[in-house]
């Protein structure tokens, strides 16, 4: 073990740490020196999204002390940024230690003279975003590690608009957190009178807001007995999803009992992630047994939702995030127009790696579609920029996150579940399934099909290999991919888009991000985006072709799948 690690371990053994922590460090010393080294070889990094890591003792773990130090840094910056009374809301999910970490954060903020509104028990992340704005607060914190395995927990910081931190606040908070060199600099207690417990009254305000998002409540009255199966996958969705469906008017909702109890051990799944078929398998079984119309599943903090429906053969299929986004955006845009709710300044927003089909039908419905970098904080940043000038309708990204209306400034699975079920009710009122509705959209606007692969390169060498891949693509972009000419190169790191036909270069008015996109002559698009937190690079593929009628759907699907495979092969990604 090197000297730096040994020095950190000694600080924890000799410092003002509680007896249980000291005992746990000593046990690792004696029984598992490799794990001890991993727990102390670095400090858990407070990134632009906050903290996320494995729970346990050590500087590289989520524990009372890393949470407390991060909160002290956040408190210091809040006091620099705001004068007068500062109010913060805190929520947490069902993960092990989430409540404890929420109370630690509340105590540190309160000891710093900050007024804290702490939820009495677990609540969805989107409700935390809503609460900041509802209470006129200056920020918020939610304790969650989203869909990570059970060993993890995390800490996300929010600003006064209910959104996660963006420049300059993200970097400024990181700087303040990094200045906290010792637990002795943390104010751990002494301001308990500054903490107020909140719960039902905020739930009620949030639910009323969600009810107001309904576009066609009359359709639900007609289709109120639509058979819905819902699983919270042991998370926070159980607190509000059944209630909002009830308030929307749905009377035939079936909760997956095996996954209905909040449990940080997630006993029925490997990953509590609605993107994974394994996590949705128990719900699928119930949906088949009941011959339901739709299955929905939310992740532990209820900001993302996955759905399953029956295909044209009556077989249950999980829709991917792009397909759900296409259905939801289209329903909201067309529904608002049909109901006379559409306005001349309406706009939608998606990330640059989300289906371009949304751009197509938005344009044909005279609705602006803006594209931003990956992450809902950038959608929220655009809302802030357009506030008072243009009307935000909905936003989304391919990774199962959607936002309806601007009262919540983060992805919101509670709102999404409600609108997706309303959308299913509308389809049923037209004698259609959601799957048929999706094919109808393809026939009308073009069949866009997306795929994603992740390539992991391990260790320091892996990170260098990924950097070299991006450098090669940037400096020597391919002239053709799968026999189709590359016509446009989007470089979000250089903040420019270049026509490879004419050499013309135009600026991209977005923050810098290490993302490249190749647009081909045949309309295909390939995006390359390295992970910022692990040695992994993601490639997003989008291919399209016209679809004359529903009868040609299977053949078109086969052709587009083959095109993606050919692109992957030509780029030597497999």
Q: Domain ranges in the chain? A: 3-150+164-170, 222-445, 447-571
Topology (CATH level 3) of domain 447-571: TATA-Binding Protein (3.30.310)
Q: What is the pLDDT of residue 533?
A: 62
* Rounded-to-integer distance, Cα 309 and Cα 435, Å: 7
- pLDDT per residue over 197-207, tens digit each? 999 999 999 99
Instruction: Calculate the alpha carbon distances from 563 to 1, 352, 438, 525 in Å.
Output: 51, 21, 21, 12
- Which residue in 432, 431, 425 sits closest to 220, CA to CA? 425
> Which residue numbers in the chain have pLDDT < 50?
none
Positive or negative CA dihedral for 176, 140, 401, 490?
negative
Catalytic, 146? Answer yes
Measured CA distances, 147 to 95, 162, 277, 323, 420 (Å): 10, 21, 14, 20, 21
Q: How many CA atoms lie within 13 A of 314 on its CB side?
A: 2
**Beta carbons of 119 and 90 less than 8 angstroms apart:** yes
The catalytic residue among 94, 98, 146, 542 is: 146
Instruction: Say which residues have a Cβ less than 8 Å from residue 30's Cβ, sequence separation at least 6.
Output: none
Question: Quick one: what percent of the chain has pLDDT higher than 70?
Answer: 99
Q: What is the per-residue pLDDT for 1?
A: 62
Please give the pLDDT value at position 468: 93
- The CATH class of 3-150+164-170 is alpha beta
**The pTM of the whole model exceeds 0.85:** yes
Domains 222-445 and 447-571 are alike in CATH topology? no
Dist CA 412 CA 410 (whole Å): 6
| SS3 state at 358 | helix
Q: Which two tokens stand for residue 33?
A: 């020196």
State which CATH number among 1.10.10.10, 3.90.1150.10, 3.40.120.10, 3.40.50.12780 fits the domain covering 222-445. 3.40.120.10
């Amino acid at each position: 073990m090197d000297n730096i690690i040994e020095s950190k371990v000694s600080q924890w053994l000799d410092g003002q740490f509680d007896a249980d922590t000291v005992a746990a460090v000593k046990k690792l010393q004696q029984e598992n020196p490799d794990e001890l080294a991993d727990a102390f070889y670095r400090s858990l990094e407070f990134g632009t999204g906050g903290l996320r890591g494995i729970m346990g003792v050590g500087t590289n773990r989520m524990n009372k002390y890393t949470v407390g130090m991060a909160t002290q840094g956040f408190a210091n910056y809040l006091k620099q940024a705001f004068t007068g009374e500062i109010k913060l809301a805190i929520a947490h999910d069902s993960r092990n230690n989430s409540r404890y970490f929420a109370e630690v954060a509340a105590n540190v903020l309160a000891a710093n003279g900050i007024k804290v509104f702490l939820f009495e028990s677990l609540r969805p992340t989107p409700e935390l975003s809503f609460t900041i704005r509802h209470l006129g607060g200056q920020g918020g914190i939610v304790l969650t590690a989203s869909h990570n395995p059970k060993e993890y927990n995390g800490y996300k910081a929010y600003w006064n608009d209910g959104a996660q931190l963006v420049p300059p606040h993200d970097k400024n908070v990181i700087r303040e957190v990094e200045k906290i060199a010792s637990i002795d600099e943390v104010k751990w207690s002494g301001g308990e009178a500054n903490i107020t417990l909140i719960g039902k009254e905020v739930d009620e305000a949030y639910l009323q807001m969600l009810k107001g998002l309904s576009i066609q409540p009359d359709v639900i009255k007609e289709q109120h007995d639509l058979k819905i199966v819902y699983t919270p996958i042991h998370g926070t969705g159980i607190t509000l999803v059944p209630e909002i469906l009830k308030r929307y008017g749905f009377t035939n909702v079936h909760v997956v009992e095996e996954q209905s109890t909040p449990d940080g051990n997630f006993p029925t799944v490997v990953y509590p992630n609605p993107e994974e078929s394994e996590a949705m398998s128990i719900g699928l079984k119930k949906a088949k047994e009941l011959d339901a119309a739709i299955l929905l599943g939310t992740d532990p903090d209820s900001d993302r939702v996955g759905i399953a429906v029956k295909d044209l053969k009556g077989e249950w299929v999980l829709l991917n995030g792009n397909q759900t986004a296409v259905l939801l955006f289209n329903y909201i845009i067309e529904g608002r127009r049909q109901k006379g709710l559409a306005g001349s300044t309406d706009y939608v927003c998606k990330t640059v790696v989300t289906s371009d089909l949304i751009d197509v039908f938005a344009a044909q419905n005279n609705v602006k579609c803006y594209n931003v970098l990956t992450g809902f904080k950038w959608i929220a940043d655009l809302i802030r920029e357009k506030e008072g000038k243009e009307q935000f309708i909905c936003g989304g990204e391919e990774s199962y996150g959607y936002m309806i209306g601007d009262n919540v400034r983060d992805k919101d699975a509670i709102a999404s579940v409600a609108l997706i079920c309303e959308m299913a009710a509308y389809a049923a009122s037209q004698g259609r399934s959601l799957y048929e509705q999706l094919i109808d959209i393809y026939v009308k606007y073009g069949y866009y099909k997306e795929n994603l692969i992740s390539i992991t390169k391990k260790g320091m060498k892996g990170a260098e290999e990924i950097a070299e891949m991006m450098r090669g693509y940037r400096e020597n972009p391919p002239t053709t991919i799968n026999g189709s000419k590359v016509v446009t190169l989007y470089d979000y790191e250089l903040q420019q888009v270049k026509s490879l036909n004419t050499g013309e270069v135009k600026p991209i008015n977005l923050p810098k991000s290490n993302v490249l996109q190749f647009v081909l002559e045949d309309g295909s698009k390939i995006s390359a985006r390295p992970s910022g937190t692990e040695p992994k690079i993601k490639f997003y593929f989008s291919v399209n072709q016209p679809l004359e009628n529903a009868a040609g759907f299977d053949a078109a699907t086969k052709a587009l799948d083959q095109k993606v495979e050919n692109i992957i092969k030509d780029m030597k990604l497999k």
